[in-house]
Structure 1
Amino acid sequence: MKTAAVLFVVAIAGCASAAPAAVNAARALPAKALIGYLHASFANGAGYIPLANVSDDWDVINLSFGEPTSPTDGNIQFTLCPATECPNVESEAAFIAAVDAKKAKGKLVQLSIGGQNGQVQLTTTTARDKFVSSVSAIIDKFHLTGVDIDFEGHSLSLDATDVDFENPTTAVIVNLISALKSLKSKYGAGFTLTMAPETFFVQLGVTYYGPGPWGGQDPRAGAFIPVIHALRDSLTLLHVQDYNSGSIPDLNGNWASMGGSDFHVQMTDIVLNGFTVANNNGKKFPPLNPAQVAFGVPSAQFAGNGYVDPTAVQAAVNCLTKKTSCASYSPKAGPYPGLRGVMTWSINWDEYNGGAFRKAMRPFLNSL
């Protein structure tokens, strides 16, 4: 999730406690969900939208962004957009009332942590514990349903000796897993957890994982894989950002590029089919439940690199769920009729574009 496009290139050489009132009992997403990011702490050129004005077409609203006071302190902060930047920003009381109203309609309203500028590196257990306490304070204050982990840039990377995704040893990985398990334990079944990694941190792991045996690869390659795997039983949704991406090998070993429906099918098939992780002694990342999986697209041409028309997004969904409307790539397993839906960056950019994305996607998803 970004305000500008970013491309990465690999250099090859106990019991849960009772849930606080802020988090309600477990919720059921609709069979096909529309997920969007709301610029809540900044305008980003697209304009500010008060939460109460966000269309009910959206099933999941990720508030962007919670950011740390410094990359390694774990102290996550979230404030509404300053009035100097967003003259139409609502009061905190009105915002909280809007959160409650959305939840009453069955919507998920979460804190998205990270983004392009919010580097989060939980290098110590002290930072881990501060992360848990500061995120909990935000959840409780704003009555949120859970968190979305949108760690980008240099937030996650793997140590040279960390080669087994089932048993990670890198501090930033281990501490993040521990922190998210603590939040889940604190809030119980009602706590929602979603993740929005970039393709570099997930699908690239089919071919490259960490620094590699000779230490010449980018240590961030595939670094989200151990986090997803460790939390798969607690994960509400994984929606990888299929945008601002370099080329990524698909399950056939062909390099896939943005620009059509194929890329979304190729990238999503990787996590739905499962894959052998590179440099990992042949260990396979097991498939995720399709009900936990969506894929991410830009809502408009100016929202991010890799934009395709909603008809191409719909074709990708049809290919994944029915094996119809496929272009040159067809899912290796599948079809996956339980695929949960589509995520987009962002709600604001979509409304800036007249709401074209949601107006196309909502009835389409309802028809499936």
Structure 2
Amino acid sequence: MAAAALVLPALVALPAHGAASGCSVNYTVNEWSGGFTAQIKVTNLGPAVNGWQLAWTYAGDQHITSGWNTTVTQTGAAVRAADAGYNAAIATGGTADFGVQGTWSAADPTPTAFTLNGTACTGNGTPPTTPPTTPPTTPPTSPPPSGGLPTHALVGYLHETFANGSGYTRLADVPDSWDVIDLAFGETSSPTSGSIHFTRCPVAECPSVESDADFKAAIKAKQAKGKKVLLSIGGANGEVQLTTAAARDAFVSSVSGIVDTWGLNGIDIDFEGHSLSLNTGDTDFKNPTTPVIVNLISALKTLKARYGSGFVLTMAPETFFVQLGYQFYGSGPFGGQDPRAGAYLPVIYAMRNDLTLLHVQDYNSGPIMGLDNQYHTMGGADFHIAMTDMLLTGFPVAGNTANMFPALAPSQVAIGLPATTNAGNGYTAPAAVDQALDCLTRKTSCGGYATHGSWPALRGLMTWSVNWDRFGNNEFSNNFHSYFG
């Protein structure tokens, strides 16, 4: 498909509110054919600053199209990234983390000369007298893991442990158009035990179910074609509450047992219902204290460490647990709110370095307020544009601009939709799906919503489900491939 023209604002001089006498920069790039993202960390080695600009010059043809946690401008090869307001202050020894996304066509060395508020970043300066403390849930200083996914990926759930009106689909019969196949679901018979089981659909319920041997062979065949097969844990009926360290350890042990038994590529966390909620007084998503949150983070970090960088980790929260956090977080400062509001935010934040893909369910949702402070309802392009813009721009949690949930990298984000009208509330027709993609990746056809950028590297789409898409004559997957080519 033809690429849309991208227009950047002209470079403007921004006021510096403090001069830096020393600084260092860590610039880590992740490239693919025609595009790149760069995660940038600047450390202030001099006096505290309140308001910053980091400038550098490319030696090649890199062209920045968007950024996160920054306001970025470019003239020719010269780039200037300024603070985003909420991260303007950098203490002595403190850091600012942000990222940019762009295009390129020729190999080019990573820039090495940076200036912070006009002062060269040479790694020299007055070091902090006390090493800065780092919370356990630090934003990433390296590119997010790709998990071996294509630039634009199609993700679908496969009904593997149950049958419904969409019919049973053998894994071997899943079309190769699906890049990630989530086996639904790993569940627990006791929500607080932490022990997860994966029980394949019985013949009595699914007469065409394949044997375990054929199922395992199908997994290997999909993987040989570059597809990722994951265990999805939870679902509407699979409540999981890791209230104790014992439950956490049982979760790690049982999940790794399933992954090893079937030779899977990773896991998908699809906690719904009452699996995640915040205890009263737990108000800082960067430093959670609620056991079910802390234990889940610990379990996921343990699994990631056990299997290494190739382990695929995805999440499929509902809007109630993510975007609703813009207005409400937990039970609130005075109590009385639903303690589940925004409860996924600390998990997403803590796992940013390890999260392959976040695909929020933009369905079965009530109206949600976007960054334009207007309510958006599911079923049309507007809802997906507003909800995705929040993830790619970042937002103040519970309206507190001093407590910002930072933007995710575009390569970490996909949009979740129902495949057909039968699959769930919030079905979006293909034309509206394309409109949302046009707006988010090209900043065209946005309707009344003004996005805070354009993100060509948006990873793709997720749907519930492969089975329902097959039932609907593959409308969803056909439209995905028609759009992305």
State the TM-score, normalizing by the size of structure 1.
0.91
Question: Where does the alignment leave 5 or more consecutive residues of structure 2 unmatched?
Answer: 1-144
| Counterparts of residues 268-347 of structure 1 (less than 5 Å) | 268-278=388-398, 282-331=402-451, 333-347=452-466
In structure 2, the residue matched to 1:40 is 160
Partner Cα separation in structure 1 for residue 375 and residue 302 of structure 2: 38
Are the counterparts in 2 of residues 298 and 306 from structure 1 also a CA contact under 8 Å? Answer: yes
RMSD (Å) for aligned C-alpha atoms: 1.2
Partner Cα separation in structure 2 for residue 136 and residue 361 of structure 1: 32
In structure 1, the residue matched to 2:304 is 184
Partner Cα separation in structure 2 for residue 171 and residue 54 of structure 1: 38
**Greater percentage in helix:** 1
Shift of 1:363: 2.6
In structure 1, the residue matched to 2:194 is 74
Partner Cα separation in structure 2 for residue 78 and residue 148 of structure 1: 13
Give the letter for the 1:337 counterpart. P
Distance 1:27 1:225, change over 3 A: closer
Shift of 1:330: 2.5
Are the counterparts in 2 of residues 64 and 113 from structure 1 also a CA contact under 8 Å? Answer: yes
In structure 1, the residue matched to 2:313 is 193
Are the counterparts in 2 of residues 26 and 191 from structure 1 also a CA contact under 8 Å? Answer: no
Are the counterparts in 1 of residues 435 and 446 from structure 2 also a CA contact under 8 Å? Answer: yes
Question: Where does the alignment leave 5 or more consecutive residues of structure 1 unmatched?
Answer: 1-24
Distance 1:216 1:279, change over 3 A: farther
Shift of 1:191: 0.4
Cα deviation, 1:205-238, whole Å, max 9, x if unaligned, reads: 0000000011110000000000000001100000
1:148 is paired with a residue whose SS is strand
Give the letter for the 2:154 counterpart. L
In structure 1, the residue matched to 2:330 is 210
Shift of 1:98: 0.5
Give the letter for the 2:478 counterpart. K
Shift of 1:159: 0.7
Shift of 1:355: 1.2
Partner Cα separation in structure 2 for residue 310 and residue 34 of structure 1: 15
1:28 is paired with a residue whose SS is coil
Counterpart check, 1:356 vs 2:475: yes
Give the letter for the 1:341 counterpart. G
Give the letter for the 1:308 counterpart. T
In structure 2, the residue matched to 1:169 is 289
**Aligned counterpart for 2:210 among listed residues 90, 114, 117:** 90
1:189 is paired with a residue whose SS is coil
In structure 2, the residue matched to 1:258 is 378
Counterpart check, 1:153 vs 2:279: no
Partner Cα separation in structure 1 for residue 484 and residue 464 of structure 2: 17
Give the letter for the 1:128 counterpart. R
Partner Cα separation in structure 2 for residue 85 and residue 312 of structure 1: 36
Q: Which moved more, 1:217-226 or 1:357-366?
A: 357-366
Are the counterparts in 2 of residues 27 and 106 from structure 1 also a CA contact under 8 Å? Answer: no
Shift of 1:356: 1.4
Shift of 1:35: 0.5
**Aligned counterpart for 2:182 among listed residues 58, 62, 66:** 62
2:289 is paired with a residue whose SS is coil
Shift of 1:280: 5.4
Give the letter for the 2:382 counterpart. D
Q: Which moved more, 1:309-318 or 1:161-170?
A: 309-318
In structure 1, the residue matched to 2:135 is none
Shift of 1:26: 7.9
State the TM-score, normalizing by the size of structure 2.
0.69
Partner Cα separation in structure 1 for residue 174 and residue 479 of structure 2: 16
Partner Cα separation in structure 1 for residue 146 and residue 440 of structure 2: 27
Are the counterparts in 2 of residues 27 and 190 from structure 1 also a CA contact under 8 Å? Answer: yes
Partner Cα separation in structure 1 for residue 147 and residue 294 of structure 2: 28
Are the counterparts in 2 of residues 210 and 220 from structure 1 also a CA contact under 8 Å? Answer: yes
Cα deviation, 1:155-200, whole Å, max 9, x if unaligned, reads: 0000111000000000000000000000000000110000000000
Partner Cα separation in structure 2 for residue 83 and residue 330 of structure 1: 51
**Greater percentage in strand:** 2
Shift of 1:326: 1.4
Are the counterparts in 2 of residues 321 and 338 from structure 1 also a CA contact under 8 Å? Answer: yes
Partner Cα separation in structure 1 for residue 299 and residue 147 of structure 2: 22
Distance 1:279 1:249, change over 3 A: closer
Distance 1:291 1:136, change over 3 A: same
Are the counterparts in 2 of residues 265 and 330 from structure 1 also a CA contact under 8 Å? Answer: no
Shift of 1:282: 2.2
Partner Cα separation in structure 1 for residue 408 and residue 461 of structure 2: 16
Partner Cα separation in structure 2 for residue 365 and residue 38 of structure 1: 22
Partner Cα separation in structure 2 for residue 148 and residue 27 of structure 1: 13
Are the counterparts in 2 of residues 315 and 325 from structure 1 also a CA contact under 8 Å? Answer: yes
Are the counterparts in 2 of residues 73 and 130 from structure 1 also a CA contact under 8 Å? Answer: yes
Partner Cα separation in structure 2 for residue 26 and residue 329 of structure 1: 29
Give the letter for the 1:42 counterpart. F
| Counterparts of residues 91-130 of structure 1 (less than 5 Å) | 91-130=211-250
Q: Percent identity?
A: 62
If you compute each CA radius of gyration, which structure gives the higher value, 1 or 2? 2
Partner Cα separation in structure 2 for residue 251 and residue 280 of structure 1: 13
1:282 is paired with a residue whose SS is strand
Partner Cα separation in structure 2 for residue 164 and residue 146 of structure 1: 29
